DNA sequence: GGCAAACTTGCACGCAGTGCACGTTCGCGC
DNA sequence: GCGCGAACGTGCACTGCGTGCAAGTTTGCC
C-alpha cells in the first residue's frame, strides 16, 4: 500500500533491478557465504554492470537485507487495513499475523538464518528492524492522531510489536536450544505480544 | 562485574589498546565525520600500527560503537546487584536508572548523535543494542532460573528494557521534534518502562 | 635463563566503494 | 512524431578497507 502507483517504465525498471539485485544478493550469499560472494557476481546474476550495483546499494550487506522492506510494508498495510475503531494493540497483533503467515517472509528468513554469524549482516538486519519500527510508528501516529513529539506511545507500541516479532522468530529458530513444545511461529508471536499487552509483571516466572 | 579480574600486564595492555582505539575512533569520527576519517588516523591517534587496528575491530563502524559494551556492563551489573527477591521489572527499572545517570553514557551518546545519519554506524549501533539485550537476558535467566528454551520471558523482559532505553533516548534527542515538556531522560526512561510494566493498552492515547 | 604462546607490525593483494564523464533511454511538452 | 532535458547505466580510475602471511617482539611461566 505504501505506493501502488502504476508508474512509468523507468520506475518499474528501477524497482525490478533493485529487486533482482537484492534477490541475487540474498540467494548467493546464503548459499556460499557473504565473504565468498563478490559484488561482481551479484551484479552478473542480476544482469547489470558491477558499477550499477552501487547505484542501488552502498554495500553487500544492505542488499542482502533489503528484502525486509516488504516485511515493513506488510506490517503497515495490515495495520492500516484494520478498522479504525479497533484497539491499537489488537490491530498490531493482526498485523503480526499477516507477517508470519506471508509465505515470502519465512522464505527470506530461512535464508537470512544462514548468515546469523556474520556481524555486518546482523547489524544491517537490526537496522532493518529499526526501519520497520519507524514506519509502523508513523502508521500508529496516523491512526491515533497523537503528537509523537510529546507522546512516546506510538513509538513504544511499534517498537514492542517489532520486538515481539523479533524475539518470537529468534526463539523459533532455536537461539536458546530447541523449545520442547515446538510451537508454531504464529503462537509464539501471540505469546510475545500478549506479554506486552498484559504487562511484563503478569508474565513473570510463568512460561508464556 | 562482568570480569574484574586484576589480570596480567598482557591482558591490561590489550584492554587499554582496545579502549584507546575505540575512544579515538569515536572522537575522530564524531568530529570530522566517519567518511573523513581513515583507519590509519585512528591507529595513529591510538599510537599503534594500522594493521593492529584490525586485530581488534573488523571495521571502523565496529570501533565507533564499541563503547556501548560498557553500557551493557552497567545494565547487567546494576541488575545483578539488586536483591534477588525484588520483582524483576523493578530491578530492570533500577538498572536503567544506573545507565542514564552514568556520566560516561550521555557523553558517548552525544558523540554518537552526530553520526545518526551514517547508515553503517546506525546499523552497528542497533547491533550493540542487540548485544545488550542478550547479556541482560542471560542475567534475567540467572535470576529467575527459568529455561530460556521454553520460556520467552527473560528475552522479552530484556528486550523491553533495552527498547525502553532506546526509545526514551531517541525521544529525548528529539527525533520527532522537541517535546514541549522537555522532560529529563530519567523521567522518559521511567515512562517508557512503565508502559511495558502496565501493558500497552493501559497507555493508549494518554500522553505517557 | 629459556621456551612457548600471544601480540605487533610490515608487506602484499583483492575487493569495496565512489567521483567523474559519456552514452543511452525515458518522460514530456510541442 | 520531434526533440529536449533529465534520469539512468556503464566504464574508468583511484583511494582505502580488510585479510593472509611471515617475520620480529613482548609476556607468562617453569
> pLDDT (tens digit, 9 = 90+) per residue, A35-54?
999 999 999 999 999 999 99
A13 touches strand D (CB under 7 A): yes
Tell me which of A127 and B112 has the higher pLDDT: A127
CATH architecture of A68-203: Orthogonal Bundle (1.10)
Taking the Cβ of residue A4 and every Cβ of chain B, the question of whether any pair is shorter than 8 Å is answered with no
For residues B183 and B151, the answer to whether their CB atoms sit within 8 Å is no
DSSP string, B11-25: HHHHHHHHHHHHHHH
Chain D: positions less than 7 Å from a protein CB are: 7-13, 16-21, 27-29
B9 nearest nt, CA–C1' = D27
Q: Is the pLDDT of residue A205 over 80?
A: no
Pairwise CA distance, residues A179 & A174, whole Å: 7
Q: Which three cell numbers stand for residue A200?
A: 511484563
Which single residue is written with the C-alpha cell 565473504?
Answer: A35
Q: Which three cell numbers stand for residue A208?
A: 508464556
The reply to whether residue A156 touches residue B192, judged by beta carbons under 8 angstroms, is yes
Give the closest residue to D11 (Cα–C1′): A51
Distance in angstroms: CA A149, C1' C19: 39
A195 touches strand D (CB under 7 A): no
Pairwise CA distance, residues B40 & B48, whole Å: 9
A187 touches strand C (CB under 7 A): no
Q: Which three cell numbers stand for residue B196?
A: 511495558
Sort out which chain A residues have CB atoms less than 8 A from B163's CB and list them.
156, 159-160, 163
B46 nearest nt, CA–C1' = C8
B36 touches strand D (CB under 7 A): no
- Comma-separated ranges of CATH 1.10.357.10 domains in chain B: 68-203
Q: Which residue of A lies nearest to B172 if distances are taken between CA atoms?
A: A149
Tell me which of A108 and A158 has the higher pLDDT: A158
Which single residue is written with the C-alpha cell 574484574?
Answer: B4
What pLDDT is stored for residue A10 in this prediction? Answer: 81
Nearest C-alpha of chain B: how many angstroms from A187? 12
What pLDDT is stored for residue B205 in this prediction? Answer: 52
What pLDDT is stored for residue B2 in this prediction? Answer: 45
Residue A177: φ, ψ to 5°: 90, 175
Size of interface A-B (CB pairs under 8 A): 174
**Looking at the domain that runs over A9-58, which CATH code has it been given?**
1.10.10.60
Q: Which residue of A lies nearest to B148 if distances are taken between CA atoms?
A: A176
The segments of chain B whose pLDDT lies below 70 read 1-6, 176-177, 204-208
Name the H helices within A37-151.
39-45, 50-56, 60-64, 68-80, 88-100, 103-113, 119-144
Question: Which candidate in B132, B149, B192 is best for mutational testing of the A interface (most A CBs within 10 A)?
Answer: B149
For residue B72, CA distances in Å to A51, A161, B154 come to: 40, 23, 16
Q: Is the pLDDT of residue A206 over 70?
A: no
Pairwise CA distance, residues B67 & B111, whole Å: 11
What pLDDT is stored for residue A106 in this prediction? Answer: 87
The reply to whether residue B167 touches residue A188, judged by beta carbons under 8 angstroms, is no
CB hemisphere CA count around B161 (13 angstroms): 35
Pairwise CA distance, residues B78 & B97, whole Å: 9
What pLDDT is stored for residue A208 in this prediction? Answer: 44
For residue A37, CA distances in Å to A26, A27, A40 come to: 10, 10, 8
Distance in angstroms: CA A69, C1' D17: 28
Q: What is the pLDDT of residues A171-198, one digit of tens each?
A: 998 777 777 777 889 999 999 999 999 9
Q: Is the pLDDT of residue A2 over 50?
A: no
What pLDDT is stored for residue B208 in this prediction? Answer: 44
- Comma-separated ranges of CATH 1.10.10.60 domains in chain B: 9-59
Sort out which chain B residues have CB atoms less than 8 A from A127's CB and list them.
119, 122-123, 126
Q: Is the pLDDT of residue A27 over 90?
A: yes
Out of B123, B130, B150, name the one closest to residue A181 (CB). Answer: B150
**Looking at the domain that runs over B9-59, which CATH code has it been given?**
1.10.10.60
What pLDDT is stored for residue B76 in this prediction? Answer: 97
| Terminal C-alpha separation, chain A | 34
A55 touches strand D (CB under 7 A): yes
A13 touches strand C (CB under 7 A): yes
Taking the Cβ of residue B35 and every Cβ of chain A, the question of whether any pair is shorter than 8 Å is answered with no
Q: Which residue of A lies nearest to B202 if distances are taken between CA atoms?
A: A197
Q: Is the pLDDT of residue A156 over 50?
A: yes
Indicate the range of A87-91, A98-102, A127-131, B203-207 predicted with least confidence.
Answer: B203-207
Q: What is the arithmetic mean of pLDDT over A132-161?
A: 95
Which single residue is written with the C-alpha cell 503480526?
Answer: A96
Q: Which helix (H) or strand (E) holds B122?
A: helix B119-144
B7 nearest nt, CA–C1' = D28
For residues B42 and B57, the answer to whether their CB atoms sit within 8 Å is no
Burial B81-106 (b: 16+ CB within 10 A, else e): ebeeeeebbebbbebbebbbebeebe
Amino acid at each position: 500500500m505504501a505506493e501502488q502507483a502504476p508508474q512509468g517504465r523507468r520506475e518499474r525498471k528501477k524497482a525490478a533491478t533493485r529487486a533482482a539485485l537484492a534477490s541475487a544478493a540474498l540467494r548467493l550469499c546464503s548459499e556460499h557465504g557473504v565473504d565468498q560472494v563478490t559484488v561482481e557476481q551479484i551484479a552478473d546474476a542480476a544482469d547489470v554492470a558491477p558499477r550499477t550495483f552501487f547505484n542501488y546499494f552502498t554495500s553487500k550487506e544492505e542488499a542482502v537485507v533489503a528484502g525486509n522492506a516488504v516485511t515493513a510494508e506488510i506490517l503497515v498495510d495490515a495495520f492500516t487495513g484494520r478498522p479504525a475503531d479497533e484497539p491499537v494493540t489488537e490491530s498490531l497483533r493482526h498485523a503480526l499475523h499477516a507477517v508470519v503467515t506471508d509465505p515470502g517472509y519465512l522464505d527470506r528468513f530461512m535464508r537470512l538464518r544462514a548468515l546469523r554469524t556474520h556481524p555486518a549482516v546482523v547489524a544491517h538486519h537490526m537496522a532493518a528492524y529499526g526501519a520497520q519500527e519507524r514506519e509502523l510508528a508513523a502508521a500508529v501516529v496516523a491512526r491515533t492522531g497523537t503528537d509523537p513529539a510529546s507522546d512516546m506511545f506510538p513509538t513504544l507500541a511499534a517498537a514492542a510489536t517489532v520486538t515481539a516479532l523479533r524475539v518470537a522468530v529468534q526463539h523459533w529458530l532455536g537461539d536458546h536450544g530447541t523449545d520442547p513444545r515446538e510451537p508454531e511461529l504464529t503462537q509464539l508471536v501471540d505469546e510475545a505480544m500478549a506479554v506486552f499487552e498484559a504487562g511484563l509483571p503478569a508474565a513473570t516466572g510463568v512460561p508464556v
